[in-house]
Structure 1
Amino acid sequence: MSVAVPRTDLPLLDALRADLTAADFTVAAVERLLGPVAAAALHREEPVPALRATAASSDPVATLVRVLLLGRRAPRRVLDAALPTLGTDGAAALGLVEAAGSSPDDEVRPLVDLRPYTAVDGGGEVDWWIASDLGELATGTALRTDHVLGVGGASTTLAQVTVRSPRRRVLDLGTGCGIQALHATRHADAVVGTDISARALAFARLNAALAGVGDQVTLRSGSMLEPVAGERFDLVVSNPPFVITPRDADVPAYEYRDGGRAGDAIVRELVEGVGSVLEPGGVAQLLGNWEVRRGESWDERIGSWVDASGLDAWVVQRELQDPAEYAETWIRDGGTTPDRDRDAWARRYGAWLDDFASRDVEAVGFGIVTLRRPLDDAGPRLRRLEEVTGSVAQPLGPVIDAALAAHDRLAGWSDEELAAQRLVVAPDVTEERYLTPGDVDPQVVLLRQGGGFGRTVQVGTALAGFVGACDGDLTAGQIIGALGALLEVEADAVAADVLPSARGLLTDGLLTTS
């Protein structure tokens, strides 16, 4: 059965925008209407409390929640009342709904999911409405292979970690419903979105027009970097179809998550090849999975890719799953569960495990990859691969942007130039000291970062004293001299101990220059 593709009609979208605004169809209004219990249940993909909360309400928000968010049918007159400017006929013309007839009591069936979206990225708060395909919660069936996904956890993560300094041209590779392209319009002159899915491009086009930025976004059909070969961008963002899926006839391949390559090849291709479309100084940020094979550490495989890229690289692994956990996650994501179809569940589970075993895969990593084309090919490279699995303070985009700038600044400073700087402890940094009862000196001193990556750094006596004195009044060299006198140690020895660590604290934002 074919599924309708949404259509972009600017006058009708103006009417839709006016109705959604007048109804106050926002995240906050939906949560007020549902209440905390039903809202929390809906976040867990359980619709029953939300259906009960909206059943007897004539509030337009209740109608919009039931029809456009929960995927329930409604009489034409009810939808007409909720969308008085656009009306059911206008919504049908946009491909949002299908009406059984023209009588007031004729049933209207939703064809897409349309919901309010609010988020905070490095540029501040955003509020849009995002259209996508109806999910499993609304249809009660497994997803179609050409399903167009709405805004999920991975999309939100990428939006929050993306650097938001002004850019001339941004590429959103694998745009899907267009959410990364929308975020990019707030700090870029022009945005190009690409996708292999014609249906995804149709949704992205509608969402950009509904947000009022259609003129700023150009959409192109094609795989990976092919649609922009020979072009250059200041920023590339990508939530690519990185899911590692067995190439098995019984395992569905979903356009939004499966790149059609074996194993983790699609992420490797993107990491190694994205430099071809980056301007000097241009940044690429993407999410991805990578295999961890028997006898390897997690960073060996992804590390070989970034080395082959020739780019500055900062990889943060956020999660590591064993093959069984990974298989369960993505089989369920496609709508197959042991309760619904135990035989299909078992077959697909086995296919995933066999596929991983064929390559000696012991785990799968997930994380954030930031790449940058250096301005100076002769300069020192950034190569940082780390595991950060704890909670972080989003948005991380400004933190990543500041760390890249700090790396460049520090790369140009000799120790003498660093010693001439007046440094300040960042306002979110606290110090913890652990002492054995009765002792004067602490056994352990920790610096804790309250924001960003939430780093904890154990420091020795000299570094603790150095950081404690960094209030911008004295230069780093003056503090080192004073510490040497206090500890009865040569200042050069203190500098050799303190300055390399100070560089790391500056890069990570625990120290700043005044």
Structure 2
Amino acid sequence: MTAILIDQLRADLATANFSVTALTGLWGIEADAALHRNQRVPALRALARLRATLTVPEPNVVLAQLFVLGLPVARTEIDAALPTLGVDGAERLGLLSAHHAHGGTAEEPALDAGPALVAPLVDLRPYSFVDAHGAGSWWITSDLGELALGHPLGENHVLGVGGASLTLSALMIPTPVDSALDLGTGCGIQALHAARHATRVVATDISERALELAALNARLNGVENIEFRLGSLFDPVAGERFDHIISNPPFVITPRVEGVPSYEYRDGGMVGDALVEAVVRGAAEHLTPGGVAQLLGNWEYHEDDAFDRLTDWLAAPAGGDAPEATGRAGHPAALDAWIIEREVQAPTGYAETWIRDGGTRPDTPDFDRLYGAWLDDFEARGVRQVGFGYMLLRRPLDGRGRRAAPPRPRLLRLERLPEALGHNAAGIGNHLAECLAAHDWQAGLDDDALSRSTLTVASDVTEERHFWPGQEDPTLMTLHQGGGFGRSVPLDTAQAALIGACDGELPVGAIIDAIAQLLDADAAALRTELLPRVRALLDDGFLEPPAAGSAA
């Protein structure tokens, strides 16, 4: 019966054209931006003006008021907006309930009057995206936020699609795989994205409520290749391995003292950053050879550099359970890793961020009490700063894997890119896949083989030059990346000439020899200087290796 009701809801939402574009058309771009800042007054005012011009409100107006803005509407209006499902069906699905009249306030004027009102029990809104498979749109249900509730969130709150969710979905490598795992699925948004490139997806969560909503979202959007399992971390998938693991884990560092709320969607119940460490270490045992894990996380700075601690997490596990998991001399192989630290916060800023995230306002006694608890915890454990970023892990292949070849050096790349993804997140998953492939290609070549290869400049790369007035030679040259992480690289004359000649025709070594002749430089010394830079530019996606199947 529930499946039938969800199918009826899908049909009604489609008929109503309940979409991102339609809602933006209702209240405008500025009100839409305000909603992303958790401010609904501009949207409310726009709907009030629209209602004043309509004898009967459009279905989108009713649905937006109820499920997006979190305010009650007349029962007759929701029956008209959801004609197939109706109020009774929506109640059985747990989407809404009967509610008394709401009079409104000066800031948020009442949009209804009369006793026969219904109120939302969930947030239900459209979500649109573009990924490697093209444009798509879904409807996503989650729990009501503090704006609709009028009080701080409950500890079992199921979060909707937020900034972290959007970041992880943008980072997701879209390479087709047989199996994927969404660890800590929440409302199911990452599992839905993974289902577009994985034959089957397993989504786990410690929260029964989260799994209920995630399963509803999968059915609502016609996605059938996701299996939902209850349990903590990797417990529900013990003994199983996956080609792709995705996780936006509950990584928030929270004081483990009485009186501090522990929200299921963000707090893993462990001390400090131990939850992220557990996910990293567990990934090694649950990835297939060549499999990739992608997650967001926090890590603490103590007296040492946090990157030293991250490197320790990535070390080979204490034991091995299968031949293909082992490295040389029978020892388990350490994970490949590419970790990007996007931001570092002081304990004060970190505490303020997450106390507000739970809905506690700064002008309340509770805020000061929680603030003190956070600072006490950080001080007691010697935490100086907290880093946030993205982790890409990969289980190495043995000689029998898909990329059977002589062993390559381990990929261990830890870097700091402040505000990475701040400029453009579109296509970043493809960029990561291309960078990994380019790294694997160049890491398998010695310098002589690399010198014989032909390379091309990526299509999003531009060069910027600055000149002193009246001078013919540039004083500053910089290479810019339009996509990916938007990197910029300073150039000298030789490197600029090399990149400018990388058109897929001449081998790298021949180009360097020609440059050496023009600059009256030693060709061997110039190769020694430039080839490491070529490798770095391949790793970062500025240069591209030959297409598969072409001669190197």
Question: Deviation per CA, 1:371-429, whole angstroms, max 9, x where unpaired?
Answer: 00011384310000011113342131011111111111111112122112221111211
Q: 2:499 aligns with which of 467, 479, 482?
A: 467
CA contact (8 A) 1:120 1:160 kept: no
After TM superposition, give the deviation of residue 45 of structure 1 in Å.
1.0
Which structure 2 residues correspond to residues 400-415 of structure 1 after superposition, within 5 A?
400-415=432-447
CA contact (8 A) 2:72 2:99 kept: no
**Structure 2 equivalent of residue 83 of structure 1:** 82
**Structure 2 equivalent of residue 3 of structure 1:** none
344-353 vs 476-485, greater mean Cα deviation? 476-485
Counterpart secondary structure, 2:314: helix
Q: 1:484 aligns with which of 516, 523, 529?
A: 516
**Structure 2 equivalent of residue 351 of structure 1:** 373
Distance 2:122 2:211 in 1: 14
308-317 vs 375-384, greater mean Cα deviation? 375-384
Q: Runs of 5+ in structure 2 lacking a partner?
A: 101-113, 318-333, 400-406, 547-552
Instruction: Calculate percent identity across the aligned residue pairs.
Output: 54
The letter for the 2-side match of 1:27 is: V
Distance 1:461 1:38 in 2: 50
Counterpart secondary structure, 1:320: strand
CA contact (8 A) 2:438 2:544 kept: no
Q: 1:292 aligns with which of 286, 294, 301?
A: 301
**Structure 1 equivalent of residue 330 of structure 2:** none
Q: 2:474 aligns with which of 442, 446, 459?
A: 442
Q: 2:382 aligns with which of 335, 340, 360?
A: 360
**Structure 1 equivalent of residue 15 of structure 2:** 22
326-335 vs 375-384, greater mean Cα deviation? 375-384
**Structure 2 equivalent of residue 385 of structure 1:** 414
**Matching of residue 115 in structure 1 with residue 115 in structure 2:** no
After TM superposition, give the deviation of residue 100 of structure 1 in Å.
5.7
Counterpart secondary structure, 1:423: strand
The letter for the 2-side match of 1:73 is: P
Counterpart secondary structure, 1:408: helix
Give TM-score, length-normalised by structure 1: 0.94
Give TM-score, length-normalised by structure 2: 0.88
After TM superposition, give the deviation of residue 495 of structure 1 in Å.
1.2
CA contact (8 A) 2:441 2:545 kept: no
Q: 2:353 aligns with which of 299, 319, 329?
A: 329
Distance 2:353 2:431 in 1: 30
**Structure 2 equivalent of residue 69 of structure 1:** 68
**Structure 2 equivalent of residue 4 of structure 1:** none
CA contact (8 A) 1:30 1:65 kept: yes
**Structure 1 equivalent of residue 44 of structure 2:** 51
Counterpart secondary structure, 1:472: strand
CA contact (8 A) 1:122 1:160 kept: no
CA contact (8 A) 2:454 2:508 kept: yes
Distance 1:241 1:255 in 2: 7
**Matching of residue 372 in structure 1 with residue 394 in structure 2:** yes
After TM superposition, give the deviation of residue 41 of structure 1 in Å.
1.8
**Structure 1 equivalent of residue 535 of structure 2:** 503
**Structure 2 equivalent of residue 35 of structure 1:** 28
After TM superposition, give the deviation of residue 490 of structure 1 in Å.
2.7
Relative to structure 1, the CA distance from residue 289 to residue 122 in structure 2 (aligned partners, 3 Å threshold; closer, same or farther) is farther
**Structure 2 equivalent of residue 398 of structure 1:** 430
The letter for the 2-side match of 1:364 is: V
Which structure 2 residues correspond to residues 138-287 of structure 1 after superposition, within 5 A?
138-213=148-223, 215-287=224-296
Number of matched pairs:
501
The letter for the 2-side match of 1:177 is: C
Distance 1:35 1:484 in 2: 59
